[in-house]
Amino acid sequence: MGDITVSAPGKVILHGEHAVVYGKVAIAASLNLRTYLRMRRGTDNLISLDLPNIAIKKSWTTDGIKSQVSLPLCDPNKPVGVSGELLTKLKDIAGVDQHESDTKQLAVITFLYLYCALAAHKGTLPAIGLKVVSVQPVSAGLGSSASFSVCLAASLLQLSGIISSPAGDEVWSEAERDLINSWAFFGEKILHGNPSGIDNSVSTYGGAIKFKSGKITPLCRVPKLQILLVNTGVPRSTKVLVARCRERYQKYPDIIEPVLKSIEAISHRCEEVLAELADSPSTDLYETLEDLIDINQHHLGALCVNHPALEEIVRTAAKYGLHAKLTGAGGGGCAFIFIKPDTPLTTLADIKSEFASQKLSCWETSVGSPGVTAHSGDDGHLKQLFS
């Protein structure tokens, strides 16, 4: 068997982050900033993991893992989460402190769990070397951890023959993607505690989606949307921010519940406006999208997930007549600035150079790229990425 190469996109949440954790509607879309994974069959009995973006390089012997984990763990067609007992063993194998909740270490645990559940489901452990390279910023609210879990699930399910091996640059069937998504969700749970599942869903299916309590509805009528993503460079943890929002909710439920309902109403309105814009673009509709961005940015402040660096981006955008909000968990990470079709190119050039002078990285990008995809190993761009 040759190498397995897969990729999965990052995401931008247009509206509904945090509210989605409480069963409210969110609207999200994939980004053409992707995570790529290459898996090589080993000739020795080593399992190796190379994650250059977060400076992790680890390896284990297949015998070492076999001696600590009783395999097979489960039926790979029936996704389940990691048990507390197994988590303790995996932390031992990974050499991680039992109380460690650092994202880098949790990424290793996620790999070990999905490897044991999916690659070793027949009780034998294949020797593999895995390298994951992300061309999206990590820990910045753009779903890099979800695209990591999606790539792991897809490649390990393919290695085990549980899903097909597409010829290259192809997506899997609906049922196969559902299986990838369910396993990626359990990966996300290791990384983030109690995620809503929106990030892994966008990364798996791609395009633009509406998400509510695990139900995914693709948005079929969406205009071409252009955004400028700006990274505050302030690292943050999704788990911590979700907990911070929950604290506020528990302290003031009668005040916060209406805020969450209002965010849901924003998501609904956003969906309607996007559909109307796809049919007939109008200045009024673009202005409504801008209003929704402004209102939601204030709501997210009320949920305690804003950050001065995000507010500074919002202020800079306003100076140029543009509108911005945080995206993802907040508390740092990225904001997006909405670009209308009539936004002058000179305005864009000016704001980009202002961010550059503040040493903030930004990317102009369109939303709605394909979800998890299998690639042919011959692709020159990928060869370069993994060299």
Residues that bind ligand MEV (CB under 6 A): 13, 17-18, 20-21, 195-196, 198-199, 238, 242, 328-329
Contacts of 377 (CB under 8 A, 6+ apart): 2, 3, 5, 38, 383
Buried-state track 21-32, b at ≥16 Cβ within 10 A, e below 16? bbebbbbbbbbb
Beta strand pairing call for 4-15 and 46-51: unpaired
Pick the closer one to ligand MEV by CB: 126 or 328: 328
Pick the closer one to ligand MEV by CB: 40 or 236: 236
Locus of tokens 């390896």: 59
Pick the closer one to ligand MEV by CB: 328 or 332: 328
CA of residue 173 relative to chain centroid, distance: 21
Rounded to a whole number of angstroms, the minimum distance from the CB of residue 328 to ligand MEV is 4
Pick the closer one to ligand MEV by CB: 40 or 189: 189
Rounded to a whole number of angstroms, the minimum distance from the CB of residue 42 to ligand MEV is 34
Name the β-bridge partners of 334.
Answer: 231
Pick the closer one to ligand MEV by CB: 27 or 130: 27
Pick the closer one to ligand MEV by CB: 33 or 162: 33
Rounded to a whole number of angstroms, the minimum distance from the CB of residue 330 to ligand MEV is 7
The span from the first CA to the last CA of the chain, in angstroms, equals: 20
Which of these is catalytic: 199, 237, 267, 369?
199
Nearest to 177 by CA among 198, 157, 199: 157
Rounded to a whole number of angstroms, the minimum distance from the CB of residue 61 to ligand MEV is 35
CA of residue 365 relative to chain centroid, distance: 16
Q: Is 145 a catalytic residue?
A: yes
Rounded to a whole number of angstroms, the minimum distance from the CB of residue 19 to ligand MEV is 7
Q: Report yes or no: 229 and 142 within 8 Å, Cβ to Cβ.
A: yes
The conformation of residue 116, written as its DSSP 8-state character, comes to: I
Which of these is catalytic: 134, 145, 149, 196?
145
- Between CA 345 and CA 347 the distance in angstroms is 5
Amino acid at 113: Y
- Between CA 222 and CA 304 the distance in angstroms is 31
Name the β-bridge partners of 133.
Answer: 36
Rounded to a whole number of angstroms, the minimum distance from the CB of residue 313 to ligand MEV is 18
Write out the catalytic residue numbers: 145, 199
